[in-house]
Amino acid sequence: MLQQSSLTMKNVAIAGEEIESQKSRGSNADRIFRIVTASFAGAVLVILLIMVYEMVMQSVPSITKFHWDFLTKSSWDAVQGEFGALPFLYGSVVSSALAILVATPLSVGTALFITEIAPKSVGNITASLIELLAAIPSVIYGLWGVLVMAPWLQKTVQPWLVDHFGSTPFFSGAPYGVSMMAGVLILAIMIVPIITSISREVLLAVPQSQREAAIALGATKWEMIRMAVLPYGRSGVFGGVILGLGRAIGETMAVTMVIGNTPQISLSLLAPAYTMPSVIANEFAEATSNLHSSALMEVGLLLLIVTLIINVFARLLIWKVTKGAKGGGV
């Protein structure tokens, strides 16, 4: 009996040693793993810092020359060496904001159709078709926009708008086709897939018990959506909208092709406009003077800052919206 127990003790001791040695081997591996992953994560941060640093340094000639005039002046003249970026800032912010206004109801409506109204098979097919839209390269949207949509706007939509609403500042002037309106529409089409698919996932995550609660109170389908589905998913849907806005503000190719590329600020949606990414893409190759390329760099910096502000603002809004409601989010 005694022998047996000492034997057991010995076994336990051996087992203990094994665990000990395994532990040291394991913690070694963990340490290496930690260092490797940390350096990967650090590399991303370093790249970001280098980029920001370089952008700031290269912008210095432009910043020291124009100061705040860069943000408030509207003349952009490479020959005279005058650079004011306000039209690009205006073009980017307005085109993206309007695109969100157009795309959000469309996307949320589509997501509601897929999750709440359509039979499962139809919903699934619609969802995958819409996700396919997101895979189309933006240059193709641009090509379609400039060859098909812009002429259609010029010949059909815009003349009608001029006839009926031409007296308002928003639809005054000659119909060119390529315009702020074309930019807004192409952006809206491009961000519908992302907002739709995020909204769809958020709505699918609304528990069935929430729908049943509304239905059992005698809600119609629409009332159920308004009462149980949308409030539960609102923060998630909002997150999708912000992602769409992020995409819209950085979108370059398609917008460049249809927005007209004229550095001016006009309330009219029919007038051509210009965006920050577009001017960078259009002019970087021909920027011969130091000041010109520095000004373009500063536009890039501005774009970065605007994107950051939108993201911070969005996070604040999401936080505010979700604070009261403990519903689902992304």
Partner 1 sequence: MNGKVTLENMSVHFGNNHAVKNVSMDFAAHSVTAIIGPSGCGKSTLLRSLNRMHDLVPSAKVSGTILVDGKNLYDRSIDPVAIRRKIGMVFQKPNPFPAMSIYDNVVAGYKLNSRMNRAVADEIVETCLKRVALWDEVKDRLKSSAMDLSGGQQQRLCIARTIAVQPEVILMDEPCSALDPIATLKIEELIEELKERFTIIIVTHNMQQAARVSDSTAFMYMGELVENGATKKIFTTPEKKQTEDYITGRFG
Nearer CB in complex with partner 1: 98/230: 230
Nearer to partner 1, 94 or 108 (CB): 108
Of 182 and 214, the one with the shorter C-beta distance to partner 1 is 214
**Per-residue tokens: 138:** 């933006």
Sign of CA dihedral 255, 257, 260, 264: positive
- Binding positions for partner 1, rule: CB under 8 A: 119, 207, 209-220, 223, 227-228, 231-232, 234, 324-327
Q: What are phi and psi of 82, to 5 degrees?
A: -110, 125
Q: What is the dihedral of CA 304, 305, 309, 311, to 10 degrees?
A: 20
Smallest Cα–Cα separation from 314: which of 249, 239, 247? 239
How far apart are alpha carbons 33 and 285 in whole angstroms? 43
Give the nearest distance from C-beta 110 to partner 1 in angstroms.
21
Closer Cβ to partner 1, 288 or 326, answer by number: 326
Q: Rounded to the nearest whole angstrom, what is the least distance from the CB of residue 327 to partner 1 in the complex?
A: 5
CB of 313 to partner 1, least distance (A): 22
Show the tokens assigned to 108. Answer: 């949320």
Considering the complex, what minimum distance in angstroms separates the CB of residue 321 from partner 1? Answer: 10
> Residue holding tokens 């005058």?
82
195 token code pair: 């907002």
The smaller minimum CB distance to partner 1, of residues 77 and 212, is found at 212
Task: Report the C-alpha gap between 125 and 288 in whole angstroms.
Answer: 51
- Rounded to a whole number of angstroms, the minimum distance from the CB of residue 137 to partner 1 is 38
Shortest Å, Cβ 216 to partner 1: 4
Q: Which is nearer to partner 1, 158 or 235 (CB)?
A: 235
Q: Are 325 and 231 in contact (CB under 8 A)?
A: yes
